[in-house]
Structure 1
Amino acid sequence: MSSKDQLFHVIHKVPQGHTPYVKAKHAQLVEKDPEAAIVLFWKAINTGDRVESALKDMAVVMKQLNRCEQAIEAIKSFRGRCPKQSQESLDNLLIDLYKKCGRVDEQIDLIKRKLRLIYQGEIFNGKPTKTARSHGKKFQVSVQQEISRLLGNLGWAYMQKSNYLTAEVVYRKAQMIDPDANKACNLGLCLIKQGRYDDARKVLEEIPKRKVPGSEDTRARNRAAELLMGIKAFEPPASGISDILGLDDDLVNGLEQLMNEWAPVRSKRLPIFEEISSFRDQLAC
Protein backbone atom coordinates (compact mmCIF):
# COMPACT_ATOMS: atom_id res chain seq x y z
CA MET A 1 0.00 0.00 0.00
CA SER A 2 1.30 3.45 -0.88
CA SER A 3 2.07 6.07 1.76
CA LYS A 4 -0.82 8.13 0.35
CA ASP A 5 -3.28 5.30 1.03
CA GLN A 6 -1.90 4.83 4.52
CA LEU A 7 -2.28 8.55 5.22
CA PHE A 8 -5.90 8.38 4.04
CA HIS A 9 -6.71 5.66 6.58
CA VAL A 10 -4.99 7.58 9.37
CA ILE A 11 -6.79 10.84 8.59
CA HIS A 12 -10.25 9.26 8.30
CA LYS A 13 -9.65 6.71 11.08
CA VAL A 14 -10.87 3.81 8.97
CA PRO A 15 -9.33 0.32 8.96
CA GLN A 16 -7.60 -1.09 5.92
CA GLY A 17 -9.01 -3.85 3.72
CA HIS A 18 -12.13 -4.68 1.74
CA THR A 19 -14.26 -6.62 4.22
CA PRO A 20 -17.89 -5.68 5.05
CA TYR A 21 -16.78 -4.04 8.31
CA VAL A 22 -14.15 -1.92 6.56
CA LYS A 23 -16.72 -0.87 3.93
CA ALA A 24 -19.19 -0.02 6.69
CA LYS A 25 -16.67 2.22 8.45
CA HIS A 26 -15.88 3.89 5.12
CA ALA A 27 -19.59 4.57 4.56
CA GLN A 28 -19.94 5.90 8.11
CA LEU A 29 -16.84 8.09 8.36
CA VAL A 30 -15.85 8.99 4.80
CA GLU A 31 -19.04 8.93 2.74
CA LYS A 32 -21.17 10.13 5.69
CA ASP A 33 -23.93 7.73 4.65
CA PRO A 34 -25.32 6.21 7.89
CA GLU A 35 -28.02 4.16 6.18
CA ALA A 36 -25.48 2.45 3.92
CA ALA A 37 -23.22 1.95 6.94
CA ILE A 38 -25.99 0.15 8.86
CA VAL A 39 -26.59 -2.24 5.95
CA LEU A 40 -22.88 -3.04 5.79
CA PHE A 41 -22.60 -3.43 9.57
CA TRP A 42 -25.44 -5.97 9.40
CA LYS A 43 -23.54 -7.80 6.67
CA ALA A 44 -20.38 -7.79 8.80
CA ILE A 45 -22.28 -9.26 11.77
CA ASN A 46 -23.94 -11.96 9.66
CA THR A 47 -20.64 -12.97 8.04
CA GLY A 48 -18.71 -12.97 11.32
CA ASP A 49 -16.51 -10.03 10.35
CA ARG A 50 -15.42 -8.23 13.56
CA VAL A 51 -18.83 -8.85 15.11
CA GLU A 52 -18.17 -7.01 18.37
CA SER A 53 -16.99 -3.79 16.68
CA ALA A 54 -19.68 -4.00 14.01
CA LEU A 55 -22.45 -4.41 16.59
CA LYS A 56 -21.26 -1.51 18.74
CA ASP A 57 -20.67 0.81 15.79
CA MET A 58 -24.02 -0.07 14.25
CA ALA A 59 -25.82 0.67 17.54
CA VAL A 60 -24.10 4.06 17.74
CA VAL A 61 -25.15 4.94 14.19
CA MET A 62 -28.72 3.80 14.89
CA LYS A 63 -28.80 6.00 17.99
CA GLN A 64 -27.71 8.98 15.88
CA LEU A 65 -30.65 8.26 13.56
CA ASN A 66 -33.07 7.99 16.53
CA ARG A 67 -33.49 4.26 15.91
CA CYS A 68 -32.70 3.32 19.50
CA GLU A 69 -35.30 0.56 19.74
CA GLN A 70 -33.70 -1.23 16.80
CA ALA A 71 -30.25 -0.76 18.34
CA ILE A 72 -31.44 -2.30 21.62
CA GLU A 73 -32.90 -5.33 19.87
CA ALA A 74 -29.75 -5.76 17.78
CA ILE A 75 -27.53 -5.80 20.88
CA LYS A 76 -29.81 -8.24 22.67
CA SER A 77 -29.92 -10.53 19.64
CA PHE A 78 -26.22 -10.62 18.79
CA ARG A 79 -24.32 -9.98 22.02
CA GLY A 80 -24.03 -13.74 22.45
CA ARG A 81 -21.60 -13.74 19.51
CA CYS A 82 -19.31 -11.28 21.30
CA PRO A 83 -16.54 -12.26 23.74
CA LYS A 84 -17.04 -12.07 27.49
CA GLN A 85 -14.76 -9.07 27.90
CA SER A 86 -17.01 -7.00 25.62
CA GLN A 87 -20.21 -7.56 27.60
CA GLU A 88 -19.58 -4.70 30.03
CA SER A 89 -19.19 -2.13 27.26
CA LEU A 90 -22.33 -3.49 25.59
CA ASP A 91 -24.18 -3.00 28.88
CA ASN A 92 -22.96 0.60 29.02
CA LEU A 93 -24.27 1.14 25.51
CA LEU A 94 -27.60 -0.42 26.46
CA ILE A 95 -27.95 1.87 29.48
CA ASP A 96 -27.44 4.87 27.22
CA LEU A 97 -29.98 3.55 24.70
CA TYR A 98 -32.55 2.81 27.42
CA LYS A 99 -32.13 6.38 28.66
CA LYS A 100 -32.47 7.80 25.14
CA CYS A 101 -35.78 6.07 24.42
CA GLY A 102 -37.30 6.37 27.90
CA ARG A 103 -37.16 2.73 28.98
CA VAL A 104 -36.48 3.75 32.57
CA ASP A 105 -37.33 0.51 34.38
CA GLU A 106 -34.95 -1.48 32.17
CA GLN A 107 -32.29 1.19 32.67
CA ILE A 108 -32.65 0.91 36.46
CA ASP A 109 -32.51 -2.89 36.41
CA LEU A 110 -29.36 -2.92 34.29
CA ILE A 111 -27.60 -0.29 36.42
CA LYS A 112 -28.36 -2.29 39.58
CA ARG A 113 -27.02 -5.42 37.91
CA LYS A 114 -23.78 -3.64 37.00
CA LEU A 115 -23.41 -2.36 40.57
CA ARG A 116 -23.92 -5.90 41.84
CA LEU A 117 -21.22 -7.20 39.46
CA ILE A 118 -18.79 -4.56 40.72
CA TYR A 119 -19.57 -5.54 44.29
CA GLN A 120 -19.00 -9.20 43.49
CA GLY A 121 -15.64 -8.36 41.93
CA GLU A 122 -16.60 -9.52 38.43
CA ILE A 123 -15.87 -6.20 36.70
CA PHE A 124 -12.77 -4.91 38.46
CA ASN A 125 -11.55 -8.38 39.46
CA GLY A 126 -10.78 -7.13 42.95
CA LYS A 127 -8.45 -4.41 41.62
CA PRO A 128 -8.82 -0.68 42.39
CA THR A 129 -8.85 0.38 38.72
CA LYS A 130 -9.62 -0.94 35.27
CA THR A 131 -8.83 0.18 31.73
CA ALA A 132 -11.70 1.80 29.83
CA ARG A 133 -11.92 3.12 26.28
CA SER A 134 -13.75 6.13 24.88
CA HIS A 135 -13.51 7.53 21.36
CA GLY A 136 -10.57 5.28 20.65
CA LYS A 137 -8.59 6.39 23.69
CA LYS A 138 -7.71 4.25 26.73
CA PHE A 139 -7.80 5.57 30.28
CA GLN A 140 -7.93 4.27 33.84
CA VAL A 141 -11.18 4.25 35.83
CA SER A 142 -11.25 3.64 39.58
CA VAL A 143 -13.87 1.63 41.46
CA GLN A 144 -15.03 4.83 43.12
CA GLN A 145 -15.42 6.66 39.82
CA GLU A 146 -17.38 3.84 38.20
CA ILE A 147 -19.72 3.35 41.16
CA SER A 148 -20.34 7.08 41.42
CA ARG A 149 -21.01 7.32 37.67
CA LEU A 150 -23.51 4.48 37.80
CA LEU A 151 -25.20 5.92 40.88
CA GLY A 152 -25.50 9.24 39.06
CA ASN A 153 -27.26 7.48 36.20
CA LEU A 154 -29.45 5.62 38.66
CA GLY A 155 -30.40 8.82 40.47
CA TRP A 156 -31.43 10.45 37.20
CA ALA A 157 -33.53 7.41 36.28
CA TYR A 158 -35.40 7.64 39.59
CA MET A 159 -35.92 11.34 38.90
CA GLN A 160 -37.69 10.41 35.66
CA LYS A 161 -40.06 8.26 37.72
CA SER A 162 -40.65 11.19 40.13
CA ASN A 163 -39.21 9.05 42.92
CA TYR A 164 -37.33 11.99 44.36
CA LEU A 165 -36.59 10.60 47.82
CA THR A 166 -34.86 7.51 46.41
CA ALA A 167 -33.07 9.71 43.87
CA GLU A 168 -31.81 11.90 46.71
CA VAL A 169 -30.44 8.89 48.61
CA VAL A 170 -28.63 7.70 45.48
CA TYR A 171 -27.22 11.13 44.59
CA ARG A 172 -25.95 11.74 48.13
CA LYS A 173 -24.29 8.35 48.08
CA ALA A 174 -22.67 9.11 44.72
CA GLN A 175 -21.36 12.42 46.04
CA MET A 176 -19.86 10.72 49.09
CA ILE A 177 -17.89 8.37 46.86
CA ASP A 178 -16.70 10.65 44.04
CA PRO A 179 -18.31 14.12 44.07
CA ASP A 180 -18.69 16.31 41.00
CA ALA A 181 -20.57 19.47 40.04
CA ASN A 182 -22.95 17.80 37.59
CA LYS A 183 -24.30 15.37 40.20
CA ALA A 184 -24.46 18.26 42.69
CA CYS A 185 -26.73 20.10 40.27
CA ASN A 186 -28.92 17.03 39.90
CA LEU A 187 -29.10 16.64 43.69
CA GLY A 188 -30.08 20.29 43.96
CA LEU A 189 -32.83 19.78 41.38
CA CYS A 190 -34.02 16.70 43.25
CA LEU A 191 -34.31 18.72 46.48
CA ILE A 192 -36.15 21.49 44.64
CA LYS A 193 -38.65 18.93 43.35
CA GLN A 194 -39.30 17.98 46.99
CA GLY A 195 -39.85 21.63 47.96
CA ARG A 196 -36.72 21.61 50.13
CA TYR A 197 -35.34 24.92 48.89
CA ASP A 198 -32.97 25.63 51.78
CA ASP A 199 -31.31 22.23 51.37
CA ALA A 200 -31.10 22.72 47.61
CA ARG A 201 -29.54 26.17 48.03
CA LYS A 202 -26.83 24.76 50.33
CA VAL A 203 -25.90 22.14 47.75
CA LEU A 204 -25.96 24.48 44.74
CA GLU A 205 -24.06 27.34 46.37
CA GLU A 206 -21.04 25.06 46.72
CA ILE A 207 -20.57 25.11 42.94
CA PRO A 208 -19.96 28.87 42.40
CA LYS A 209 -17.60 28.72 45.39
CA ARG A 210 -15.72 25.94 43.52
CA LYS A 211 -15.92 23.62 46.51
CA VAL A 212 -17.06 20.70 44.32
CA PRO A 213 -14.81 18.94 41.75
CA GLY A 214 -15.78 20.03 38.26
CA SER A 215 -17.03 23.44 39.44
CA GLU A 216 -14.71 25.11 36.96
CA ASP A 217 -16.87 23.77 34.12
CA THR A 218 -18.88 26.67 32.69
CA ARG A 219 -21.94 24.54 31.95
CA ALA A 220 -22.13 23.26 35.54
CA ARG A 221 -21.73 26.78 36.94
CA ASN A 222 -24.40 28.16 34.62
CA ARG A 223 -26.80 25.36 35.48
CA ALA A 224 -26.26 25.89 39.20
CA ALA A 225 -26.92 29.61 38.74
CA GLU A 226 -30.15 28.90 36.84
CA LEU A 227 -31.37 26.53 39.55
CA LEU A 228 -30.52 29.06 42.27
CA MET A 229 -32.46 31.74 40.39
CA GLY A 230 -35.40 29.35 40.15
CA ILE A 231 -35.39 28.83 43.92
CA LYS A 232 -35.93 32.55 44.42
CA ALA A 233 -39.32 32.22 42.73
CA PHE A 234 -40.55 30.06 45.61
CA GLU A 235 -41.15 30.77 49.26
CA PRO A 236 -39.81 27.98 51.50
CA PRO A 237 -42.81 26.18 53.01
CA ALA A 238 -43.19 26.88 56.72
CA SER A 239 -43.53 23.21 57.53
CA GLY A 240 -40.96 22.00 54.99
CA ILE A 241 -38.21 19.55 55.78
CA SER A 242 -35.08 21.52 56.55
CA ASP A 243 -32.77 18.70 57.66
CA ILE A 244 -32.31 15.39 55.90
CA LEU A 245 -31.30 13.85 59.23
CA GLY A 246 -34.96 14.17 60.24
CA LEU A 247 -35.62 11.35 57.79
CA ASP A 248 -32.86 9.11 59.12
CA ASP A 249 -34.95 5.97 59.54
CA ASP A 250 -36.67 6.22 56.16
CA LEU A 251 -33.43 6.98 54.35
CA VAL A 252 -31.42 4.27 56.08
CA ASN A 253 -34.13 1.66 55.51
CA GLY A 254 -34.42 2.65 51.86
CA LEU A 255 -30.68 2.54 51.39
CA GLU A 256 -30.37 -0.85 53.09
CA GLN A 257 -33.07 -2.22 50.79
CA LEU A 258 -31.27 -0.87 47.73
CA MET A 259 -27.93 -2.20 48.89
CA ASN A 260 -29.43 -5.61 49.59
CA GLU A 261 -30.61 -5.70 45.99
CA TRP A 262 -27.27 -4.57 44.61
CA ALA A 263 -24.94 -6.38 46.96
CA PRO A 264 -25.79 -9.79 48.39
CA VAL A 265 -23.91 -10.74 51.54
CA ARG A 266 -20.49 -12.21 50.90
CA SER A 267 -17.41 -12.82 53.01
CA LYS A 268 -15.11 -10.37 51.24
CA ARG A 269 -16.24 -6.99 50.04
CA LEU A 270 -14.45 -4.39 47.98
CA PRO A 271 -13.07 -1.64 50.27
CA ILE A 272 -15.33 1.01 48.78
CA PHE A 273 -18.42 -0.80 50.06
CA GLU A 274 -16.94 -0.96 53.53
CA GLU A 275 -16.41 2.81 53.37
CA ILE A 276 -20.06 3.55 52.54
CA SER A 277 -21.76 0.88 54.63
CA SER A 278 -22.93 3.25 57.41
CA PHE A 279 -25.14 5.83 55.75
CA ARG A 280 -26.43 7.29 59.03
CA ASP A 281 -22.94 8.01 60.37
CA GLN A 282 -21.82 9.65 57.13
CA LEU A 283 -24.86 11.92 57.04
CA ALA A 284 -24.27 12.93 60.65
CA CYS A 285 -20.77 14.05 59.69
Structure 2
Amino acid sequence: MASSRRRGGGGVGGEKKDLFHVVHKVPAGDSPYVRAKHLQLVEKQPDLAIVWFWKAINSGDRVDSALKDMAVVMKQQDRSEEAIEAIRSFRHLCSKQAQESLDNLLIDLYKKCGKVEEQIELLKQKLKMIYLGEAFNGKATKKARSHGKKFQVSIQQETSRILGNLGWAYMQQNNYEAAELVYRKAQTIEPDANRACNLGLCLIKLGRHGEARETLEDVLLHRIYGSDDEKVVARAEQLLHELNPFNCVSSPFDVGQSVHEEIMERLDLVMNEWTPFRSRRLPVFEEIAGFRDQIAC
Protein backbone atom coordinates (compact mmCIF):
# COMPACT_ATOMS: atom_id res chain seq x y z
CA MET A 1 0.00 0.00 0.00
CA ALA A 2 2.71 2.41 0.97
CA SER A 3 4.47 1.70 -2.27
CA SER A 4 1.22 2.28 -4.14
CA ARG A 5 0.67 5.60 -2.37
CA ARG A 6 4.19 6.72 -3.18
CA ARG A 7 3.65 5.90 -6.82
CA GLY A 8 0.32 7.72 -6.75
CA GLY A 9 1.82 10.74 -5.04
CA GLY A 10 4.66 10.83 -7.53
CA GLY A 11 2.15 10.65 -10.33
CA VAL A 12 0.23 13.68 -9.06
CA GLY A 13 3.42 15.65 -8.64
CA GLY A 14 4.47 14.66 -12.11
CA GLU A 15 1.14 15.79 -13.51
CA LYS A 16 1.49 19.18 -11.81
CA LYS A 17 5.01 19.52 -13.16
CA ASP A 18 3.86 18.63 -16.67
CA LEU A 19 0.99 21.12 -16.38
CA PHE A 20 3.47 23.85 -15.40
CA HIS A 21 5.49 23.25 -18.58
CA VAL A 22 2.34 23.30 -20.71
CA VAL A 23 1.00 26.51 -19.17
CA HIS A 24 4.30 28.38 -19.40
CA LYS A 25 5.31 26.76 -22.72
CA VAL A 26 8.74 25.81 -21.43
CA PRO A 27 10.51 22.48 -22.03
CA ALA A 28 11.17 20.02 -19.21
CA GLY A 29 14.63 19.25 -17.90
CA ASP A 30 17.60 21.08 -16.43
CA SER A 31 19.82 21.86 -19.44
CA PRO A 32 21.16 25.33 -20.40
CA TYR A 33 18.44 25.70 -23.06
CA VAL A 34 15.68 24.81 -20.58
CA ARG A 35 17.14 27.31 -18.09
CA ALA A 36 17.21 29.99 -20.80
CA LYS A 37 13.57 29.40 -21.73
CA HIS A 38 12.57 29.53 -18.08
CA LEU A 39 14.34 32.88 -17.67
CA GLN A 40 12.76 34.17 -20.86
CA LEU A 41 9.15 33.05 -20.37
CA VAL A 42 8.64 32.51 -16.63
CA GLU A 43 11.05 34.78 -14.79
CA LYS A 44 10.94 37.48 -17.49
CA GLN A 45 14.67 38.17 -17.35
CA PRO A 46 15.66 38.54 -21.03
CA ASP A 47 19.27 39.60 -20.43
CA LEU A 48 19.94 36.52 -18.29
CA ALA A 49 18.07 34.39 -20.80
CA ILE A 50 20.47 35.55 -23.52
CA VAL A 51 23.42 34.51 -21.37
CA TRP A 52 21.98 31.01 -20.99
CA PHE A 53 21.08 30.77 -24.68
CA TRP A 54 24.78 31.44 -25.36
CA LYS A 55 25.68 28.62 -22.96
CA ALA A 56 23.26 26.32 -24.75
CA ILE A 57 24.82 27.09 -28.13
CA ASN A 58 28.37 26.63 -26.82
CA SER A 59 27.45 23.30 -25.19
CA GLY A 60 25.57 22.01 -28.24
CA ASP A 61 22.24 21.97 -26.41
CA ARG A 62 19.34 22.34 -28.90
CA VAL A 63 21.41 24.73 -30.99
CA ASP A 64 18.73 25.28 -33.67
CA SER A 65 16.20 26.53 -31.14
CA ALA A 66 18.74 28.26 -28.90
CA LEU A 67 20.11 30.44 -31.71
CA LYS A 68 16.67 31.38 -33.05
CA ASP A 69 15.23 32.10 -29.60
CA MET A 70 18.27 34.13 -28.58
CA ALA A 71 18.04 36.24 -31.74
CA VAL A 72 14.34 36.90 -31.08
CA VAL A 73 15.04 38.01 -27.51
CA MET A 74 17.89 40.23 -28.72
CA LYS A 75 15.56 41.83 -31.24
CA GLN A 76 13.05 42.53 -28.48
CA GLN A 77 15.85 44.13 -26.45
CA ASP A 78 16.88 46.42 -29.35
CA ARG A 79 20.03 44.40 -29.86
CA SER A 80 19.31 43.52 -33.48
CA GLU A 81 22.87 44.15 -34.66
CA GLU A 82 24.12 41.57 -32.15
CA ALA A 83 21.41 39.16 -33.26
CA ILE A 84 22.50 39.49 -36.89
CA GLU A 85 26.12 38.77 -36.01
CA ALA A 86 25.12 35.82 -33.84
CA ILE A 87 23.14 34.20 -36.67
CA ARG A 88 25.90 34.83 -39.19
CA SER A 89 28.54 33.40 -36.86
CA PHE A 90 26.75 30.30 -35.58
CA ARG A 91 24.23 29.24 -38.21
CA HIS A 92 26.77 26.72 -39.51
CA LEU A 93 26.17 24.79 -36.27
CA CYS A 94 22.46 24.48 -37.06
CA SER A 95 20.72 21.79 -39.06
CA LYS A 96 19.76 22.20 -42.69
CA GLN A 97 16.09 22.29 -41.67
CA ALA A 98 16.70 25.40 -39.52
CA GLN A 99 18.31 27.51 -42.26
CA GLU A 100 15.09 28.76 -43.84
CA SER A 101 13.67 30.04 -40.56
CA LEU A 102 17.04 31.67 -39.79
CA ASP A 103 16.86 33.45 -43.15
CA ASN A 104 13.36 34.72 -42.34
CA LEU A 105 14.60 35.96 -38.98
CA LEU A 106 17.56 37.69 -40.63
CA ILE A 107 15.24 39.48 -43.04
CA ASP A 108 13.24 40.86 -40.10
CA LEU A 109 16.44 41.94 -38.37
CA TYR A 110 17.77 43.63 -41.51
CA LYS A 111 14.47 45.48 -41.83
CA LYS A 112 14.61 46.62 -38.21
CA CYS A 113 18.21 47.86 -38.66
CA GLY A 114 17.52 49.56 -41.98
CA LYS A 115 19.93 47.27 -43.83
CA VAL A 116 18.06 47.41 -47.15
CA GLU A 117 20.85 46.11 -49.39
CA GLU A 118 21.35 43.04 -47.22
CA GLN A 119 17.62 42.48 -47.11
CA ILE A 120 17.32 42.63 -50.91
CA GLU A 121 20.23 40.26 -51.40
CA LEU A 122 18.79 37.66 -49.03
CA LEU A 123 15.33 37.92 -50.58
CA LYS A 124 16.87 37.32 -54.01
CA GLN A 125 18.65 34.26 -52.64
CA LYS A 126 15.34 32.90 -51.39
CA LEU A 127 13.76 33.49 -54.80
CA LYS A 128 16.67 31.70 -56.41
CA MET A 129 16.03 28.66 -54.23
CA ILE A 130 12.46 28.64 -55.48
CA TYR A 131 13.63 28.95 -59.10
CA LEU A 132 15.92 25.96 -58.60
CA GLY A 133 13.25 23.85 -56.90
CA GLU A 134 15.19 23.81 -53.61
CA ALA A 135 12.70 25.67 -51.40
CA PHE A 136 10.70 23.85 -48.71
CA ASN A 137 13.31 21.05 -48.84
CA GLY A 138 12.00 20.11 -52.29
CA LYS A 139 8.34 19.94 -51.28
CA ALA A 140 5.41 21.89 -52.73
CA THR A 141 4.11 22.97 -49.30
CA LYS A 142 5.42 23.44 -45.76
CA LYS A 143 3.93 23.76 -42.29
CA ALA A 144 3.95 27.19 -40.72
CA ARG A 145 2.79 28.65 -37.44
CA SER A 146 1.22 32.02 -36.69
CA HIS A 147 -0.34 33.15 -33.40
CA GLY A 148 -0.18 29.60 -32.12
CA LYS A 149 -2.01 28.11 -35.11
CA LYS A 150 -0.49 25.73 -37.64
CA PHE A 151 -1.29 25.90 -41.34
CA GLN A 152 0.08 24.88 -44.73
CA VAL A 153 1.91 27.33 -46.99
CA SER A 154 2.25 26.62 -50.72
CA ILE A 155 5.28 27.50 -52.83
CA GLN A 156 3.11 30.03 -54.68
CA GLN A 157 2.13 31.75 -51.43
CA GLU A 158 5.76 31.85 -50.31
CA THR A 159 6.88 33.29 -53.65
CA SER A 160 4.23 36.00 -53.48
CA ARG A 161 5.21 36.86 -49.89
CA ILE A 162 8.91 37.13 -50.76
CA LEU A 163 8.19 39.28 -53.81
CA GLY A 164 6.06 41.55 -51.63
CA ASN A 165 8.94 41.98 -49.18
CA LEU A 166 11.32 42.62 -52.06
CA GLY A 167 8.99 45.27 -53.46
CA TRP A 168 8.86 47.03 -50.11
CA ALA A 169 12.67 46.96 -49.86
CA TYR A 170 12.96 48.57 -53.32
CA MET A 171 10.51 51.24 -52.21
CA GLN A 172 12.86 52.12 -49.34
CA GLN A 173 15.46 52.85 -52.01
CA ASN A 174 12.95 54.94 -54.00
CA ASN A 175 13.38 52.42 -56.81
CA TYR A 176 9.70 52.47 -57.75
CA GLU A 177 10.11 50.88 -61.18
CA ALA A 178 11.69 47.75 -59.68
CA ALA A 179 9.11 47.78 -56.87
CA GLU A 180 6.26 47.97 -59.38
CA LEU A 181 7.66 45.01 -61.29
CA VAL A 182 7.87 42.67 -58.32
CA TYR A 183 4.55 43.82 -56.84
CA ARG A 184 2.81 43.10 -60.13
CA LYS A 185 4.43 39.66 -60.24
CA ALA A 186 3.34 38.99 -56.65
CA GLN A 187 -0.23 40.00 -57.48
CA THR A 188 -0.40 37.64 -60.45
CA ILE A 189 0.59 34.76 -58.18
CA GLU A 190 -1.63 35.62 -55.19
CA PRO A 191 -3.55 38.93 -55.13
CA ASP A 192 -3.45 40.75 -51.79
CA ALA A 193 -5.06 44.06 -50.77
CA ASN A 194 -2.08 45.36 -48.79
CA ARG A 195 0.29 44.73 -51.70
CA ALA A 196 -2.25 46.40 -53.99
CA CYS A 197 -1.93 49.55 -51.86
CA ASN A 198 1.85 49.39 -52.16
CA LEU A 199 1.56 48.93 -55.92
CA GLY A 200 -0.81 51.90 -56.04
CA LEU A 201 1.75 54.01 -54.17
CA CYS A 202 4.47 52.96 -56.65
CA LEU A 203 2.27 54.00 -59.57
CA ILE A 204 1.57 57.36 -57.91
CA LYS A 205 5.30 57.94 -57.47
CA LEU A 206 5.80 57.07 -61.14
CA GLY A 207 3.12 59.56 -62.16
CA ARG A 208 0.77 56.91 -63.55
CA HIS A 209 -2.27 58.09 -61.64
CA GLY A 210 -4.89 56.42 -63.79
CA GLU A 211 -3.39 52.96 -63.16
CA ALA A 212 -2.98 53.82 -59.48
CA ARG A 213 -6.66 54.72 -59.20
CA GLU A 214 -7.75 51.45 -60.82
CA THR A 215 -5.49 49.44 -58.52
CA LEU A 216 -6.72 51.15 -55.36
CA GLU A 217 -10.36 50.95 -56.37
CA ASP A 218 -9.99 47.17 -56.58
CA VAL A 219 -9.36 47.27 -52.82
CA LEU A 220 -12.36 49.51 -52.08
CA LEU A 221 -14.62 47.32 -54.23
CA HIS A 222 -13.47 44.22 -52.31
CA ARG A 223 -12.11 42.52 -55.40
CA ILE A 224 -8.90 41.35 -53.69
CA TYR A 225 -8.20 39.09 -50.73
CA GLY A 226 -7.71 41.17 -47.58
CA SER A 227 -10.06 43.97 -48.67
CA ASP A 228 -12.12 43.42 -45.52
CA ASP A 229 -9.25 44.74 -43.37
CA GLU A 230 -10.31 48.18 -42.15
CA LYS A 231 -6.73 49.48 -41.94
CA VAL A 232 -5.97 48.43 -45.51
CA VAL A 233 -9.20 50.00 -46.79
CA ALA A 234 -8.41 53.23 -44.91
CA ARG A 235 -4.96 53.30 -46.50
CA ALA A 236 -6.42 52.82 -49.98
CA GLU A 237 -8.87 55.65 -49.35
CA GLN A 238 -6.05 57.92 -48.17
CA LEU A 239 -3.94 57.18 -51.25
CA LEU A 240 -6.91 57.86 -53.53
CA HIS A 241 -7.51 61.13 -51.71
CA GLU A 242 -3.91 62.17 -52.39
CA LEU A 243 -4.29 61.59 -56.13
CA ASN A 244 -4.54 64.70 -58.27
CA PRO A 245 -8.02 64.48 -59.85
CA PHE A 246 -6.82 66.46 -62.86
CA ASN A 247 -3.94 64.10 -63.60
CA CYS A 248 -5.43 60.62 -63.70
CA VAL A 249 -4.42 59.56 -67.19
CA SER A 250 -1.94 56.72 -67.40
CA SER A 251 1.44 57.71 -68.74
CA PRO A 252 2.74 55.84 -71.80
CA PHE A 253 5.32 53.18 -71.05
CA ASP A 254 8.88 54.31 -71.36
CA VAL A 255 11.53 52.48 -73.34
CA GLY A 256 12.52 50.35 -70.37
CA GLN A 257 9.01 49.03 -69.86
CA SER A 258 9.42 46.43 -72.61
CA VAL A 259 12.32 44.97 -70.64
CA HIS A 260 10.15 44.82 -67.51
CA GLU A 261 7.38 43.08 -69.43
CA GLU A 262 9.86 40.52 -70.71
CA ILE A 263 11.12 39.85 -67.18
CA MET A 264 7.56 39.30 -65.96
CA GLU A 265 6.89 36.83 -68.79
CA ARG A 266 10.03 34.89 -67.89
CA LEU A 267 9.01 34.82 -64.23
CA ASP A 268 5.70 33.34 -65.37
CA LEU A 269 7.63 30.54 -67.03
CA VAL A 270 9.53 29.92 -63.81
CA MET A 271 6.34 29.51 -61.79
CA ASN A 272 4.77 27.29 -64.46
CA GLU A 273 7.80 25.02 -64.60
CA TRP A 274 8.61 24.90 -60.88
CA THR A 275 9.39 21.40 -59.70
CA PRO A 276 10.14 20.08 -56.20
CA PHE A 277 12.88 17.83 -57.52
CA ARG A 278 16.36 19.25 -57.07
CA SER A 279 17.80 17.08 -59.82
CA ARG A 280 15.97 19.14 -62.42
CA ARG A 281 17.56 22.55 -62.76
CA LEU A 282 15.24 24.97 -64.54
CA PRO A 283 16.80 26.13 -67.83
CA VAL A 284 14.67 29.27 -67.75
CA PHE A 285 16.44 30.42 -64.57
CA GLU A 286 19.65 30.81 -66.56
CA GLU A 287 17.81 33.25 -68.84
CA ILE A 288 16.32 35.18 -65.93
CA ALA A 289 19.64 35.45 -64.13
CA GLY A 290 20.87 37.98 -66.67
CA PHE A 291 17.93 40.26 -65.98
CA ARG A 292 17.94 40.13 -62.18
CA ASP A 293 20.59 42.83 -61.80
CA GLN A 294 18.69 45.08 -64.18
CA ILE A 295 15.72 44.99 -61.85
CA ALA A 296 17.78 46.51 -59.05
CA CYS A 297 19.23 49.30 -61.16
Is the TM-score greater than 0.5? yes
| Percentage of identical aligned residues | 61
SS of structure 2 residue aligned to 1:49: coil
Q: In 2, are the aligned partners of 1:24 and 1:41 still within 8 Å (CA)?
A: yes
1:251 corresponds, among 247, 260, 263, to: 260
Counterparts in 2 of 1:20 and 1:270: CA distance versus 1, 3 Å: farther
Contact 1:121-1:270 at 8 Å conserved across structures: no
More helix as a share of residues: 2
Once superposed, what is the RMSD of the aligned Cα atoms?
A: 2.8
When residues 54 and 163 of structure 1 are mapped into structure 2, their CA distance, relative to the original with a 3 A threshold, is: same
CA offsets 1:18-66 (integer angstroms, 9 cap, x no match): 1111111111111122111111111111111111101001111111111
In the alignment, which residue of structure 1 is the partner of 2:51? 39
8 A contact 2:107–2:119 mirrored in 1: yes
68 and 123 in structure 1: CA distance in 2 versus 1, 3 angstrom threshold: same
Indicate which of 51, 66, 74 corresponds to 1:54: 66
Q: Paired residue for 1:169?
A: 181
TM-score by length of 1: 0.84
Per-residue CA distance 1:185-215 (angstroms, 9 max, x = gap): 1111111222222211111111121100111
The aligned counterpart of 1:282 is none
Per-residue CA deviations over 1:97-145 (Å, capped at 9, x if unaligned) read 1111111111111111111111111113554322234455432111110
How many residues align structurally? 265
Q: 2:170 aligns with which of 143, 158, 164?
A: 158
Match of 1:14 among 9, 20, 26: 26
Unaligned runs of 5+ in 2: 1-12, 274-278, 286-297
Which one has a bigger Cα radius of gyration? 2
State TM-score, norm by structure 2: 0.81
How do 1:102-121 residues align onto structure 2 when only pairs under 5 Å count?
102-121=114-133
Supply the distance in 1 between the matched residues of 2:32 and 2:147 (Cα, whole angstroms). 21
Could you tell me how far 1:2 is from its partner in structure 2?
2.7
Whether the 8 Å contact between 2:28 and 2:34 is mirrored in structure 1 is: yes
Hey, what's the Cα distance between the residues in 2 that align with 1:148 and 1:84? 23
Distance in 2 separating the partners of 1:48 and 1:177 = 41
